[in-house]
Amino acid sequence: MADRKIVHVLISGSVQGVWFRAWTVQEAKVRGLDGWVRNRRDGRVEAVFAGPAARVDEMLLVCRSGPPAAEVEDVHTTPHSDDPGAGFRKLATY
């Protein structure tokens, strides 16, 4: 896919214990994205999103708000070279 975009994302703020991971899985699946999401021990949420560039960009935009109980302070994004494979999943805390 020529317009496939893969990004690594670190989301900070009040993002753990507010259903952020489950919400991310739901939102990514609605957009047909591949990748994963997990909590980090440092309090951030980490994710990899892969798919059509426009849909990945849309996902990054909604991550800036997150689910209703979240208070997102920052969404740090970097290009990612490893394809996460098909589907979107929640991983264990890292």
pLDDT mean over 5-23 = 97
User: Which position among 4, 21, 44, 55 bears the catalytic label?
Assistant: 21
What pLDDT score was predicted for residue 1? 55
Mean pLDDT of 1-14: 91
Indicate which residue of 4, 31, 38, 39 is catalytic: 39
Indicate if 39 belongs to the active site.
yes
| Structural domain contains residue 87 | no
Reported confidence tier of residue 9, pLDDT bands at 50, 70, 90? very high
Domain that holds residue 23: 4-81
Residue 94 placed within a domain: no
Q: Is residue 54 part of a domain?
A: yes
Q: Is residue 18 part of a domain?
A: yes
In terms of pTM, does the model score above 0.85? Answer: yes
Instruction: Determine, yes or no, domain membership for 89.
Output: no
Domain annotation covers residue 38? yes
Total length of the chain: 94
CATH of the domain at 31: 3.30.70.100
User: What is the count of structural domains for the chain?
Assistant: 1
Residue 2 has pLDDT above 80, yes or no: no
